[in-house]
Amino acid sequence: MKEHTFSIIKPDAMKARQAGEILSRLEKAGFEVVALRLRRLTPAEAEGFYYVHRERPFFRSLCDFMSSGPCITMVLESENAIARLREIMGATDPAKAAPGTIRGDLASSIEANCIHGSDAPETARFEIAYFFPGIELVRSER
């Protein structure tokens, strides 16, 4: 079943000029980019996005990092997009991510780990609406 997921190319990857490499990997893996925006998150936007992590010790640092520079927010489409993106991203900690995954190959730390991907259908729905309010996503026929 074709599905939508939400992704962010994080500020560390933007700074390292890895956005093209990451988009290329996503396209080669069969994802269609169905919405995309370059933006810089405010601290409040980062806090709202990562609200589920508000009690974690790294919450402040994570929100500062996510608002430290530009990022690319995207909606991606493919068969089983949510699970497939998580596979291609690799584990949260790049030291534990398999070679060949985006984080395994490109990321530098457990926080500065290049890419975000929704972890479940409800999360994807919330995250798409959070960053692309009111968007009407037409399933791609390409």
Binding-site ranges for ligand GDP (CB under 6 A): 58, 61-62, 92, 110-111, 113, 116, 119
Residue labelled with tokens 């992704």: 7
Q: Which amino acid is at 3?
A: E
Rounded to 5 degrees, φ, ψ at 140 are: -70, 140
Nearest-approach distance from CB 62 to ligand GDP, in angstroms: 5
> Which residue is catalytic, options 22, 73, 116, 117?
116
Residue type, 118: S
* Residue among 54 and 139 whose Cβ is closer to ligand GDP: 54
Residue 53 a catalytic site member: no
The minimum distance between CB 121 and ligand GDP, in angstroms, equals: 15
Distance in Å, CB of 75 to ligand GDP, minimum? 17
Residue 8 near residue 45 (C-beta atoms within 8 A): no
Residue 76 phi/psi, 5-degree rounding, is -115, 145
Active site residues: 116
